[in-house]
Amino acid sequence: LEEKDSPVRSAVEFIVNGRMRDAHDQLVEGFKTLGLLKELQKNPTVFHDIFVCQEKPLTARDLSSLFTVAYFAQGSNRRALENQLRMMVHSLKDVLVFTSGASAIPPLGFPCQPEIQFLHDTKKIYPEANTCGVVLYLPLHSSYEAFKTFMTEGILQAPSFLNGHECDSERLH
């Protein structure tokens, strides 16, 4: 029992000093060519956020700046309905998971620009999403209360539907 940590230390040392050594040396050499290694060593806290990803709480500003909105033409009846829409659901993280499958915005962003589109089909009452294209399809309702109810129900029920499903080009309900 006294030597229980020894195999773990040996394994970590092998991985760090053995397998990862070449990659580490190559990274260090790359930093040296630009004079960046000295700056990293002098000011490690300045570079911490660049090299270490930390998940921060999602804000409304993050979510609203993430998506572009595909509106109908200004002055149209459909645009008037779209303008009435205000999104409010259980949590912003739920909206992001529903739309993209990700619980946080990736450090390098999504591979494509997330988008919001509107569902003008009156038979569709729940939100839909294309997690591959990161598109959120919002249903239009005659009242904000109806929109909020169906939006919340649709998004909160989605995690059990999404678990274990592969990404395809179909819209998910």
DSSP per residue over 104-117, as a string?
Answer: S--TT--SS--EEE
* Residue 161 pLDDT: 47
* Residue 153 pLDDT: 85
> pLDDT tier at 6 (50, 70, 90 boundaries)?
confident
* Residue 108 pLDDT: 81
Half-sphere exposure of residue 29, counting CA atoms within 13 Å on the CB side? 6
Which two structure tokens, joined as six digits, stand for 24? 């580490």
99-132 residue pLDDT tens: 998 888 888 889 999 999 999 888 899 999 999 9
Among residues 53, 112, 132, 167, which one is catalytic?
Answer: 132
* Residue 9 pLDDT: 83
- Cβ atoms of 114 and 63 within 8 Å: the answer is no
Rounded average pLDDT over 73-80: 83
Q: Residue 65 pLDDT more than 70? A: yes
* Residue 173 pLDDT: 40
Which two structure tokens, joined as six digits, stand for 70? 């595909």
Report the candidate in 95, 98, 147 with the shortest Cα–Cα distance to residue 126.
Answer: 147
* Residue 23 pLDDT: 84
> pLDDT tier at 133 (50, 70, 90 boundaries)?
very high
* Residue 126 pLDDT: 93
Q: Residue 163 pLDDT more than 70? A: no
Q: Residue 134 pLDDT more than 90? A: yes
- pTM for this model (two decimals): 0.55
Whether 167 is a known active-site residue: answer: no
